[in-house]
Amino acid sequence: MNLMLLMKTGFVMAIFLILVLMGVHNRGLVDFNLPPLVSNVVQQPAALMYFGFFALGVVTGTVLTFGVKRNTASSGKPQKPA
């Protein structure tokens, strides 16, 4: 198994564990204000807000890395002449 894939999987599992712990221990309501986009104050449980911001970060990272081309010449394999 690829070591980097194993490390990434462990990192994602640790982040999910933190999200679960936040959901279990942060049940109180918090206010969310964003005057340019939302005119009213939104009151939601803190855990739901944490999850929403995490999901927004994941989507942002996915969009930023979408379409990145990888250079196959640096893979260490010899190239066949054309």
How much is the pLDDT for 58?
86
In a domain, 26, yes or no: yes
How much is the pLDDT for 66?
82
In a domain, 2, yes or no: no
Could you tell me the residue range of the domain that residue 38 belongs to?
15-63
How much is the pLDDT for 40?
92
In a domain, 80, yes or no: no
In a domain, 22, yes or no: yes
Which pTM value belongs to this model? 0.57
Distance CA 79, CA 50 (A): 47
Q: What is the pLDDT along the chain (82 residues), one digit of tens a residue?
A: 689 888 988 998 898 888 888 888 888 898 988 888 888 998 988 888 888 888 888 889 888 888 767 666 655 666 666 5
